[in-house]
Amino acid sequence: MSATRSAPVFAINHMAAPKLPAQAFFQLARSLDLQDVEIRNDLSGNAIIDGTPAAEIRAQAAEAGVKIATINALQRFNEWTPEREQEAIELADYARDAGAAALVLVPVNDGTGQKDGERQANLRVALKALLPILDARGLKGFVEPLGFEICSLRSKREAVEAIKDVNGLGTFRVVHDTFHHHLAGEPALFPEWTGLVHISGVTDTAVSVSDMRDSHRVLVDAQDRLGNVAQIQALLDADYTGLFSFEPFAEEVQALEKPAAALSESIALIRRHLA
């Protein structure tokens, strides 16, 4: 099959249906004929926060017939402190025991750590420290630049350069998030460095690009302003073969009583436009 005819492999992030307990979320994925899921450590009342043992999550995933692609996420990873190190170790232990393949690494996003020189140095310190933690547990680390103007890591190029500098090629990849890619305005794709793609759309015509926030992120439909289909096609054409994982944050999506129908519709629309 040529690269231009490659079909996207879809997955879902628990943020797409955060009200569902893990077991039901895994079953949702299977009902959509998807085999890969991302679980999160920021959903109150749900694994991982509710204390569900990793072994139980692993068993539930196996029973449903899904693989846990990532745990999302180690927050503020590029602000490396003793507390962050402990957090990383605990999360990596959980990921390993739950059968997850990777940890998503999310940078500081509050306007601090942005200075030129400072942010690049902080990134390298964190990646260097994370390397042995992840390697010892057989995990990958997926670095996710965020397009927000206040973020300490907006550029995939900076992430890739840092990964090279710490000799982290065997462990680290970047996340291409279609929302953040649009906001960052960085045209380069880095498909060979991409370990995961997050997809979500924005349809609100009143919001400017610089004012777009997670609350605007819906499932991809015909009114999408982010060019999701074009981004997905470009990545497929450049031989990216990893997952395209739905990660909407908008309340109207998360409140859906029948998320399967909405997700199925979005998957069908993307496939139709790619064809």
Q: Distance between CA 94 and CA 123 in Å, rounded?
A: 23
* Predicted TM-score of the model (pTM): 0.96
> Which pLDDT band holds residue 209 (cuts at 50, 70, 90)?
very high
Structural domains in the chain plus CATH codes: 3-274 (3.20.20.150)
Give the C-alpha distances (Å, rounded to integers) separating 263 from 177, 182, 234: 18, 22, 22
What confidence tier does 3 reach under pLDDT thresholds 50, 70, 90? Answer: very low
Closest CA to 163 of 242, 78, 260: 78
Poorest-pLDDT segment among 46-55, 129-138, 197-206: 46-55
Does residue 105 contact residue 139 with C-beta atoms inside 8 Å? no
Q: What is the pLDDT of residues 65-83, one digit of tens each?
A: 999 999 999 999 999 999 9
Segment 242-272, tens digit of pLDDT: 999 999 999 999 999 999 999 999 999 999 9
> Mean pLDDT across the chain, nearest whole number?
96
Nearest of 176, 220, 217, 182 to residue 198 by alpha carbon: 176
| Angle of helix 22-31 versus helix 54-64 axis, rounded to 10 | 20
